[in-house]
Amino acid sequence: MKRPPFASILCPTDLSATGDEAVALAFALVAPGGTVHLLHVWEPAYVLSPLDAAPVVLLPASPASDEAHEKKVRAHMKRLVPDNAGNVRHEVHVVKDGNPTATIHREATRVGADVVVMGTHGRTGIGRVLMGSVATDVVKSGKIPVILVRNGFGKS
């Protein structure tokens, strides 16, 4: 199978099973000598309004809890790198930001990504209203191609 010429892939993940599947696909699609940039956008914790689910109050976090969370995230992401990655490089990026879509676009530009590969949970209806869809927002507002991986993609 001929590989697409993706020298640089940005793979944002929410650390879910679907995000893990997207990481596997990103490594399958990157060209030899290319780089997979693993990105986790860590949103600050908020109290949400019961009326419209809008963030109301930013919950405080300590430097120690932030550091522990980031360490856990990095460890999870490093476990996703295939043992047989060969001459494919990878970089792990963890960014604390309340706007994942903007962060994904900014990081894609910064690393010169040819494509974004990310998971989508395929929520519709009330789930989409309450939880939103970062994947949909990235597709609608981006300038580079996006490959979406649905839950269960890697299973037969």
Alpha-carbon distance 102 to 130, whole Å? Answer: 19
The average pLDDT across 138-153 equals: 83
In this structure, which CATH number among 3.30.420.40, 3.40.50.620, 3.30.565.10, 3.60.20.30 belongs to the domain 6-122+137-150? 3.40.50.620
Write down the pLDDT at residue 26.
Answer: 95
Encode pLDDT of 32-70 as tens digits.
Answer: 999 999 999 987 765 566 676 666 555 667 788 888 889
| Helices within 80-151 (DSSP H only) | 100-111, 125-131, 134-141
Give me 32's structure tokens.
């030899």
% the chain with pLDDT above 70 = 76
CA distance 5 to 91: 19
Q: Is the pLDDT of residue 134 over 90?
A: no
Give the start-to-end residue ranges of the domains of the chain: 6-122+137-150
The confidence score (pLDDT) of residue 122 equals 60
Tens-digit pLDDT profile for residues 82-112: 988 778 999 999 998 878 999 999 999 999 9
| pLDDT the model gives residue 125 | 46
* High-pLDDT (> 90) share of the chain, %: 47
Report for 15-19, 49-53, 75-79: range of highest mean pLDDT? 75-79
Residue 10's nearest CA partner among 79, 103, 107, 83 is: 107
Question: What is the rounded average pLDDT of the residues 126-152?
Answer: 73
Of 75, 106, 131, give the one whose Cα is nearest residue 12.
106
How many Å apart are CA 81 and CA 76, to the nearest integer? 10
In whole angstroms, give the CA distance from residue 10 to residue 7. 10
144/116 Cα distance (integer angstroms): 7
For residue 81, the model assigns a pLDDT of 94
Mean pLDDT, to the nearest integer, of 125-140?
64
- The angle at the Cα of 156, spanning 73 to 133, to the nearest 5 degrees, equals 45
> Mean of the per-residue pLDDT values for the chain?
82
